[in-house]
Amino acid sequence: MAHDDDNLRFFRARHAAFAQILDTRNDDEALLAHLLDEAFEGFEHALQARLDAGAPVACDRGCATCCTLRVTATAPEVLHVARHLMTSDPAVCRRVVQRIAEADERTRFESEAQRVTLQSPCPFVDDDGACAIYPARPLACRGHASLDRHACSLAACGQVDDIPYSVAHRMVRSLVQNALQAALRDAGYAWGAYELNHALMLALSQPETEAAWRAGEDVFADARIDDVSPAEMASTFDWLKGA
Ligand code: SF4
């Protein structure tokens, strides 16, 4: 994004849009769909307007080199992926759920850095190296875009620590996700960021998880990632909102 004022305006517009959905659709069965449509469309729209034409993204279908990293997601994103799975072909769903359980077993207690060493693939990487839940993938995946595939391969082998990445993807993802979290917090919903695999196991093992989250419970607390403390996050949201 070109300027801090643009970032603030964009954050506030997204926050207002999420707040309106949470206010007017709170009893609507399609609440999650409305929230995620707003998040994903807002992300794609803003990204197109801000992409640097001189630095093309190197990511392509079939490359899953970075799909070994820890994925974090908000509760609506986790519930959306769970719904996506539960409405897919039952045989496919059973196979993927088994893979999520195995991945959760392998990585649940590993830090982000340990996962780089472990190189355990995301359970959603299909046989062609594509993402099996591409339309429902979380903002974290949408916001991770490399500018150099060779650097990704070197990073996966531990030969370099970082890769050149798209600043626009990372910034827009961060603003959209933070606006969603801030609106969830204001409306009394659990607003944390959660480790995807473990949160999904919680969502898939208890049919009432979505209803409990909609009633205000922090249903994914066991998968919560607090790299930044909730108090610090809340204070940042209030500052961004102009409180
Ligand atoms: S959800 Fe999809 S894009 Fe994200 S890490 Fe897994 S396979 Fe990759």
Gap from CA of 146 to ligand 1 centroid (Å)? 14
- What CA–CA distance (Å, rounded) separates 58 from 89? 32
In ligand 1, which atom is closest to the CA atom of 134? 2
Q: What is the pLDDT along the chain (243 residues), one digit of tens a residue?
A: 456 889 999 999 999 999 999 999 988 999 999 999 999 999 999 998 888 666 789 999 999 999 999 999 999 999 999 999 999 999 989 999 999 999 999 999 888 888 888 889 999 999 999 999 999 999 999 999 999 999 999 988 888 888 999 999 999 999 999 999 999 999 999 999 999 999 999 999 988 999 999 999 999 999 999 889 999 999 999 999 986
- What CA–CA distance (Å, rounded) separates 173 from 129? 23
Q: How far lies 112's CA from each of 70, 108, 153, 199, in Å?
A: 6, 10, 18, 16
Q: Using most ligand atoms within 8 A of CB, pick from 131, 134, 139 the residue to mutate for ligand 1.
A: 131
Q: Which of 85, 117, 113, 83 is nearest to 98 (CA)?
A: 85
Judge contact between 141 and 72, C-beta under 8 A: no
In ligand 1, which atom is closest to the CA atom of 141? 4
Nearest protein CA to atom 1 of ligand 1, as residue: 137
> What are the φ/ψ torsions at residue 125 (nearest 5 degrees)?
-75, 120
Q: Which of 5, 14, 6 is nearest to 182 (CA)?
A: 14
- Ligand 1 interacting residues, C-beta cut-off 6 A: 64, 67, 71, 122, 124-125, 131, 133, 137, 141
pTM, to two decimals = 0.94
